[in-house]
């Protein structure tokens, strides 16, 4: 089979899986439903993806690249602005991504939960056989630190240009910012499609407060 044909088929299947997962959720979705959505037989589906878990990892890989595309676009857009502005723009980019892509948000949160519970994927006994055999899980492990590295770089730039005053370690700040963003994402996940999900709090207000908190962290002079 030609490589371009293989890639086309894989993308077709991933798109079909995305449609089914949106309707049914990952746990309730069945491979035959994905095959039907893709217009192929179940046998053909298993030729490309041997498990539903590997297919979910493929979708997660796609989601991660979408997030990274947003990061690179934000960095390019803000390259002539201060490191502070660029760092806050990355935080906002992340929150907008999670807010506008519910399925991708769920997939990324699930992935990081899997990584955390398996010692960064090194403890194979804590992973299912399907995940252990997933090519896309291995691909994800190769890139999952990139958002942190990009954030770190912009924070360092902000320290150099004087716009970021914090003397805290830049990676520590990065991880604190990520914890705020993923906390926001988890609230979104618990909220469904409602704008005012928990205690009648507007999610846009929550996002703004998160950005204000992030800015305060970057401008705090003390260690």
CATH code for position 126: 1.10.357.10
Buried b (16+ CB within 10 A) or exposed e, 27-55: eebebebbbebbebeeeebeebbebbbbb
Range scoring the smallest mean pLDDT among 57-71, 116-130, 157-171, 205-219: 116-130
Please indicate, yes or no, whether residues 112 and 198 belong to a single structural domain of this protein.
yes
Please indicate, yes or no, whether residues 18 and 81 belong to a single structural domain of this protein.
no
Q: pTM for the complete prediction?
A: 0.90
Please indicate, yes or no, whether residues 96 and 146 belong to a single structural domain of this protein.
yes
Torsion angle defined by CA atoms of residues 137, 138, 143 and 148, in that order, rounded to the nearest 10 degrees: 70
> Percent of the chain at pLDDT above 90?
80
pLDDT tens string 135-167:
999 999 999 999 999 999 999 999 999 999 999
The boundaries of the domain holding residue 45 are 1-49
pLDDT tens string 39-88:
999 999 999 999 999 999 999 999 999 999 999 999 999 999 999 999 99
Q: Of the candidates 172, 170, 168, 176, which has an alpha carbon nearest to the alpha carbon of residue 153?
A: 170
Please indicate, yes or no, whether residues 57 and 15 belong to a single structural domain of this protein.
no
Please indicate, yes or no, whether residues 85 and 57 belong to a single structural domain of this protein.
yes
Q: Of the candidates 10, 5, 1, 3, which has an alpha carbon nearest to the alpha carbon of residue 45?
A: 10
């Amino acid at each position: 089979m030609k490589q371009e044909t293989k890639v086309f088929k894989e993308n077709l299947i991933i798109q079909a899986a995305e449609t089914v997962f949106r309707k049914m959720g990952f746990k309730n979705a069945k491979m035959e439903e994905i095959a039907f959505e893709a217009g192929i037989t179940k046998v053909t589906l298993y030729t490309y993806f041997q498990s539903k878990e590997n297919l979910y990892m493929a979708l997660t890989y796609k989601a991660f690249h979408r997030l990274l595309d947003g990061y690179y676009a934000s960095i390019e857009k803000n390259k002539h602005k201060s490191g502070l502005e660029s760092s806050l723009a990355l935080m906002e980019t992340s929150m907008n991504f999670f807010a506008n892509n519910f399925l991708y948000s769920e997939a990324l949160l699930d992935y990081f939960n899997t990584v955390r519970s398996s010692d960064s994927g090194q403890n194979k006994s804590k992973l299912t056989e399907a995940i252990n055999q997933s090519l896309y899980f291995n691909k994800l492990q190769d890139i999952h630190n990139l958002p942190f590295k990009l954030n770190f770089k912009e924070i360092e730039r902000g320290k150099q240009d004087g716009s970021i005053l914090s003397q805290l370690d830049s990676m520590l700040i990065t991880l604190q910012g990520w914890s705020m963003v993923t906390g926001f994402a988890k609230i979104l996940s618990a909220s469904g499609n409602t704008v005012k999900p928990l205690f009648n709090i507007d999610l846009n207000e929550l996002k703004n407060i998160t950005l204000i908190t992030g800015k305060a962290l970057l401008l705090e002079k003390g260690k």
